[in-house]
Amino acid sequence: MQVSSKEIISLITLTSIIFLIAPLFLIRYVLLYNKKKRRHKEEKLLMQEVYETELLKTRMEVQEQTLKTVAYDLHDNIGQLLSLTSVTLSTIDVNDPRSVTEKIDFITDLTLRSISEVKALSKLLHSEELIKMGLIEAIAFELSWLQRSDQFAITFNRPNDLGTTLKNDQRTIVFRLFQEIINNIIQHAKATEIVINLAQADHHIHLEISDNGVGFDMDELYNLKKGMGLSNIKKRAEMLNGIATINSIMGKGTSIKVIVPTN
């Protein structure tokens, strides 16, 4: 069967068009790929900037909370110890040797307690270093200050060791989440009992904090736009590719659980 000249011309034309269009499609594909790759890179840089900004904010909040604790303790604890020392000194009667001995012993005891408190405050001021030592130690140390108030029965269930499963910045964020939850309990829950469970399982850190306070209606709280603190807890957990679940029952208390993956 003989192929006509017209068919040959059509075939050549079609082939030429294909060879012309194919590079255009290839160029378009490469351009789209590079654009997508560039956009992905920009998104990663933006996410990193957001993360670093939030981390800086978190560190500042940890320091602010630390300074508040120091201020309260200086006023309520060390201030009282020093005031009591001053009052005791002013009541010493040099003509009563027995009383002088008793009061000097008491003043010595007050002075040693004051020195001990100042050393503890000095350690607290280095909260960033404390967090670097480990999440367990940082939480336990923070709870030791809370127990001074004698307002809460505190239970801290913890493992012997979490190892080095979290980076320093991750520990800072988890510790700040702990602080934020505890502050909410102190300010709003009207609780008498706080239970903290810290564990590691399935390559995840589990932090659960429960109280026996008044609880709240979560839907009503969000509708009234008063749930910013709770939203912040969820947002920071998501920054670590984790989740935060919040459960509360009116009159029975609240439980907040944070789960974040380890390295």
pLDDT for 1 = 52
Return d(Cα 210, Cα 247) in angstroms, integer: 9
Overall average pLDDT of the 55-72 stretch: 77
Is the pLDDT higher at 250 or at 145?
Answer: 250
pLDDT at 228: 55
pLDDT above 80 for 192: yes
Its CATH architecture, for the domain 135-263, is 2-Layer Sandwich (3.30)
Across residues 186-200, what is the average pLDDT? 93
Residue 209 near residue 194 (C-beta atoms within 8 A): yes
The more confidently predicted of residues 218 and 167 is 167
Nearest 5°: CA angle at 238, between 232 and 244?
70
pLDDT band at 197 (very low <50, low <70, confident <90, very high): very high
Query: CB under 8 Å to 94, separation ≥6 — which residues?
Result: 100
Q: Taking residues 222-249, what's their average pLDDT?
A: 80
Q: Which token pair is 80? A: 């009282």
The residue to which tokens 């505890």 are assigned: 182
Q: Which residues contact 194 (CB under 8 A, 6 or more apart)?
A: 146, 152, 153, 154, 155, 182, 185, 209, 210, 211
Confidence of residue 209 (pLDDT cuts 50, 70, 90): very high
- Structure tokens belonging to residue 59: 């560190």
Calculate the average pLDDT of the chain: 82
Across 67-75, average pLDDT: 73
pLDDT at residue 227, rounded to an integer: 54
Q: Report which of residues 209 and 84 the model is more confident about.
A: 209
Rounded Cα–Cα distance for residues 36 and 233 (Å): 32
**Over residues 152-180, mean pLDDT:** 86
Task: Summarize the confidence of residues 70-97 as an average pLDDT.
Answer: 79
Strand partners, 204: 201, 261
Q: DSSP character for 147?
A: G
Share of the chain above pLDDT 90, in %: 21
For CATH 3.30.565.10, list the domain ranges present in the chain: 135-263
Comparing 139 with 69, the larger pLDDT belongs to 139
pLDDT at 255 over 90: yes
Pairing of strands 193-201, 253-261: unpaired
Where is average pLDDT lowest: 66-70, 220-224, 236-240?
220-224
Residue 242: strand, helix, or coil: coil
Does 164 score more than 80 pLDDT? no
Q: Give 48: exposed, middle or buried? Use CB within 10 Å, 0-12, 13-18, 19+.
A: exposed
Q: Which of 22-31, 77-86, 169-178 has the highest mean pLDDT?
A: 169-178
At residue 2, the pLDDT reads 57
Q: How confident is the model at residue 3 (pLDDT cuts 50, 70, 90)?
A: low
**N residues, the chain:** 263
Who's near 52: CB < 8 A, 6+ residues apart? none
Using a CB cutoff of 8 Å and minimum separation of 24, what contacts does 50-56 make? 51/239, 54/173, 54/236, 54/239, 55/169, 55/172, 55/173
Q: What is the pLDDT of residue 224?
A: 45
In this prediction, residues 88-105 reach a mean pLDDT of 84
Query: Which has more confidence, 40 or 128?
Result: 40
Q: Strand pairing partners for 243?
A: 259
